Every structure is written in structure tokens, then in C-alpha cells.
Amino acid sequence: MRAATSVHRLDPGLALRDGTFDPTAVLVMRLVRKSWLPLLWAGLIVSLLLGVRQTIEEEIEGYTSVGSFLSALLSPLAGVAASFAVRLTYPLVALVLAYPLTRWSRPSDYAARLGVVRHFTMWRDRLHLARGYAALRWSRLVRDTAAARLGTRGRRFVVAEVVLTWSNPVLIVAWLVVGVVVA
């Protein structure tokens, strides 16, 4: 026998705080998350057009320090470096943006009984909750709720996400064409 579906439904409002900042942050982070691959392909196209013959593996191995990464931002492979920077930083930013949602949670009775270790346990639990909220905020359900809260501006974010989604295969084809023409 099936349980009532209302018990198992997820309320997307749990993953969004009130106001317009949080829905905007969710939609912007989705755009940033989607942008790393088009940035990579655009960077590879620019590097091909400028005649850079260095491979991605050599470029990644060349990042031995923060200074070498920053110098790559000024090179023809700036798009590639920027795509890796986006790919590495957006999960951390998403975690930071999801952290305030954990303040709504009530500490467990178990954590209250631990005494000195209580603060460590509380922070660990909040980190786990923030990771869960960040994962929930990547869902389409939360994205649609955030876009609905923002109205016209939210629909623009959704259209921009679709454009980024379709730009990826277009840039792959462009990279292949430029690679054949330049080679």
C-alpha cells in the first residue's frame, strides 16, 4: 500500500530564505556552475586562434603555485584558467551561501549532552546540513521556485541558463572547426 504523497513531498521553500537575495544567489550560482564548460571551450578556441600549442595537461601541470595560476590568467589560455577557477570555487561559494539555512535547525539533544565537544559537533552537523542544502539548491524544483519568486528577472535567469546549456555543443563544434582550419 502506498503512503500519502503529501508526506514525501519536498518543500523547495526550505532551501530558500525569504527575500530576493537568496533566490537571486541560487540562480546566479546555477549560471556560474553552467558557465565553466563554455568558458573552457571558448578558452581553447582563443588559444587555437592565437597559436598556443600547449596542451591542457601541460597547462595544469604548470600550475605549481598561485603565482603561476595568476600569470596564466594573463596568457592566451586565460579562458581555460578561468574555467578551472570557476569549477574549483563555485562549490565552496554554494556551501557558504547555503550555510545560513542551517541556523534554522535545532541542535540535537545528543549534541547538548556532549559538553565540551558540543561546539565541534554543532559545527560539524551544520557543515553536513549546508552540504545537503547546497545539493538541494541545485535541483530544478528549487530553481523553478527561485525563478517564480523573482518574476521576470527570474525568467531571464532561466533563459540565460538555457543559452549556456546550448552554447556548450555549439562551442565544441566551433572548437573542432577552428582546430581543423588552424591545423
Q: What is the pLDDT of residues 112-168, one digit of tens each?
A: 565 656 667 777 888 888 888 888 888 888 889 999 999 999 999 999 999 999 999
Output the pLDDT for position 1.
Answer: 39
Does residue 5 lie in a domain region?
no
Assigned domain for 86 exists:
yes
In a domain, 140, yes or no: yes
Residues in Cβ contact with 110 at an 8 Å cutoff, skipping those fewer than 6 apart: 121
Please count the structural domains in the chain.
1
pLDDT at res. 167: 93
Which domain covers residue 35, as residue numbers?
14-182
Give a yes or no: residue 7 inside a domain: no
Higher per-residue confidence, 163 vs 5: 163
Nearest to 104 by CA among 80, 130, 82: 130
pLDDT at residue 74, rounded to an integer? 66
The answer to whether position 48 is within a domain reads: yes
Is 162 inside a domain boundary? yes
